[in-house]
Amino acid sequence: MPAETTAATEDPPHNTTSAASIAHVQPSQIQTQSKSQSQSQSQSQNPTMASTSAAQEEQQSTATVATAAGQEQQQPPNSPPLPTRHTAQAPGPRASRFQDVLDSTLAHTLAKISWDNFAACYPTIAAQSKPGMLRAVQRQMVERLGALCKKEFGSILEARNVVARLNELETLVLEAERRRDEAGMAGQEEPPTP
């Protein structure tokens, strides 16, 4: 208990110190408020002086804006970047044909894992009484292998950006054909009309 009494007796001087610092801050705030009040009173008493200072502030802000606008006018405008060549992500004729070739090749490869070929690899199990189980394993294997191959082909096509590149190739071929046709027309004269 004596320790608590000692702490209680030490606390009040600390409180008076903080109260004194608060009292010290308050007069400076009062002085600032009184200065702003006296300025507003002097401006109301002398309206020409107030309007002159307001006009000067307005001129300074206008000059600052004009300077900033002048700097913007001095800098040449940024030229827009050149447009990139548009290649559609929807598969064009070449990309569609490429996808068809991949699908038909995969189907042809998976067809080689037929029941007869699979049963020939496991003759003992096929000959026993559980050929249904072996057929289910063969079917699951073909489906799983097909799904994995399609997923892998898809990731390769995406990583190498094959569809966009085939579409770009298609565009280049069409442009070359058009230029060839235009050059052929320009080199030949029109036949005279009879």
- What are 144-180's pLDDT values in tens digits? 999 999 999 999 999 999 999 999 999 999 999 999 9
Helical pair 131-159 and 162-187, crossing angle rounded to 10 deg: 50
Q: Is 65 helix (H, G, I), strand (E, B) or coil?
A: helix
Query: What domain range is 113 assigned to?
Result: 93-185
* DSSP H helix total and E strand total for the chain: 7, 0
Per-residue pLDDT of 58-114, as tens digits, reads 566 555 544 544 454 566 567 666 656 554 478 999 999 999 999 999 999 999 999
Q: With respect to residue 15, please indicate whether it lies within any of the assigned structural domains.
A: no
Examine residue 49 and state whether it is found in any structural domain, yes or no. no
Residue 125 lies in a domain: yes
Average pLDDT over residues 43-64: 53
Q: Looking at the domain assignment, is residue 140 inside a domain?
A: yes
CB-based contacts of 135, cutoff 8 Å, min separation 6: 115
Contacts of 156 (CB under 8 A, 6+ apart): 162
Q: Is residue 72 part of a domain?
A: no
Tally of structural domains, the chain: 1
Question: Is 171 within the bounds of a domain?
Answer: yes
Per-residue pLDDT band for 55 (boundaries 50, 70, 90) equals: low
Residue 173 within a domain: yes
Does 1 reside within a domain? no
Q: What is the predicted pLDDT for the residue at 93?
A: 94
Q: Crossing angle of helices 2-45/47-74, nearest 10°?
A: 90
